[in-house]
């Protein structure tokens, strides 16, 4: 029997366009009132073809908001010292308000050393230990872009989340852990599930909010989802799609979409869900960083 989509599809593409509009307004106002043009520097080491779309979108959208975009490509033979020297140079450059070093890095480079070399106030990814520490203790952190994008979509869909049961599937430093923190701050009762979780299906079935961030195609099954739950699918997995012709591929999330959409109250699609929101939040974080560096209250923009 074919399943039927009953869930509201959360349109991350449309929502991210709204977020970027807000960013563009703030950028214009920073220029007019303060004579400041925010600058975002992106450093890419090596060539990962999968990230080319992402990088192109990022550069295009940064420009569209009126910000300055600085782009650095370094060969995959780059040493840790060379990358640290680039990071230091950007730390000291007053035209650069935000720095993103694209991950993963080649194996000769220690990621933590590089991330923690970024000036915390320019760390628009929110990966620096100072920022994760601030997030964990209720301070003014730079919040990682993907979890921030998920939170904005959840707030837009649900409003007050107080008392809701949330499950985060995945415990990465980049998504799972900060996401759990944000849900906790929103007064949810939070479970973090992972590869050693005993009965994942039973855990997911309890949740009003499911955030899937494991990076395994369709591993969260639709029939685990509680009726009416809100499902945020962080996964972007490219899989073979022989039904579309030889050598064809398609993108799927970490959630089995069709079956989950038949049970959920609302769900994000892949593509067009979390991905575009991640980029929009990177731009938003760059404005936040610019304001903090210049002691400007963003509410006055």
What are the residues whose beta carbons fall under 8 Å from the beta carbon of 230, sequence distance 6 or more?
Answer: 154, 157, 158, 208, 209, 210, 264, 265, 266, 267
What are the residues whose beta carbons fall under 8 Å from the beta carbon of 275, sequence distance 6 or more?
Answer: 12, 54, 236
Tokens of 36: 């400041």
Q: Which is nearer to ligand GUE, 100 or 231 (CB)?
A: 100
> Do 250 and 241 contact (CB within 8 A), yes or no?
yes
Annotated active-site residue 177? The verdict is no
**Options 9, 59, 103, 205; binder of ligand GUE; rule CB under 6 A:** 103
Q: Which of 26, 123, 125, 233 is catalytic?
A: 125
The nearest distance, CB 117 to ligand GUE, in angstroms, is: 13
Binding residue per annotation — 171? Answer: yes
Tokens 């920022």 belong to 131
When asked if residue 236 is in the footprint of ligand GUE (CB under 6 A), the reply is yes
Distance, in Å, from the CA atom of 98 to the CA atom of 154, rounded to the nearest integer, reads: 26
Annotated active-site residue 125? The verdict is yes
Q: Residue 244 carries which DSSP code? A: G
Binding residue per annotation — 162? Answer: no
Annotated active-site residue 293? The verdict is no
Q: Which of 58, 86, 122, 226 is catalytic?
A: 58
> Do 273 and 233 contact (CB within 8 A), yes or no?
yes
When asked if residue 100 is in the footprint of ligand GUE (CB under 6 A), the reply is yes
Print the binding letters for residues 61-80 with ligand GUE: x by CB under 6 A, - otherwise. Answer: --------------------
Which residues are annotated as catalytic? 58, 102, 125
Q: What are the residues binding ligand GUE (CB under 6 A)?
A: 51, 53-54, 57, 100-103, 125, 145, 236, 251, 270-272, 275-276, 278-279
């Amino acid at each position: 029997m074919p399943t039927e989509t009953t869930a509201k599809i959360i349109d991350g593409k449309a929502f991210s366009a709204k977020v970027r509009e807000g960013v563009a307004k703030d950028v214009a106002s920073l220029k007019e009132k303060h004579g400041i043009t925010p600058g975002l520097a992106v450093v890419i080491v090596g060539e990962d073809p999968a990230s080319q779309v992402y990088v192109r979108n990022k550069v295009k959208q940064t420009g569209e908001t009126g910000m300055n975009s600085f782009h650095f490509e370094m060969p995959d033979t780059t040493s840790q010292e060379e990358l640290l020297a680039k990071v230091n140079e950007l730390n000291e450059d007053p035209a650069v308000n935000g720095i993103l070093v694209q991950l993963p890095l080649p194996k000769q480079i220690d990621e933590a050393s590089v991330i923690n070399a970024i000036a915390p106030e320019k760390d628009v990814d929110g990966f620096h230990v100072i920022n994760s520490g601030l997030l964990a203790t209720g301070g003014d952190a730079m919040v990682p872009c993907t979890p921030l994008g998920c939170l904005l979509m959840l707030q837009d869909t649900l409003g007050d989340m107080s008392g809701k049961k949330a499950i985060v599937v995945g415990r990465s430093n980049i998504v799972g852990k900060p996401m759990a923190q944000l849900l906790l701050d929103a007064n949810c009762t939070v479970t973090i599930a992972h590869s050693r979780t005993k009965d994942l299906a039973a855990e997911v079935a309890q949740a009003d909010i499911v955030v899937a961030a494991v990076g395994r195609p369709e591993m969260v099954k639709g029939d685990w989802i509680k009726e009416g739950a809100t499902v945020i699918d962080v996964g972007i997995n490219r899989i073979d799609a022989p039904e579309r012709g030889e050598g064809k591929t398609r993108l799927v999330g970490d959630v089995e979409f069709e079956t989950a959409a038949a049970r959920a109250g609302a769900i994000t699609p892949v593509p067009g869900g979390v991905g575009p929101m991640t980029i929009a939040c990177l731009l938003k974080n760059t404005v936040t960083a610019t304001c903090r560096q210049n002691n400007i209250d963003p509410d006055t923009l």
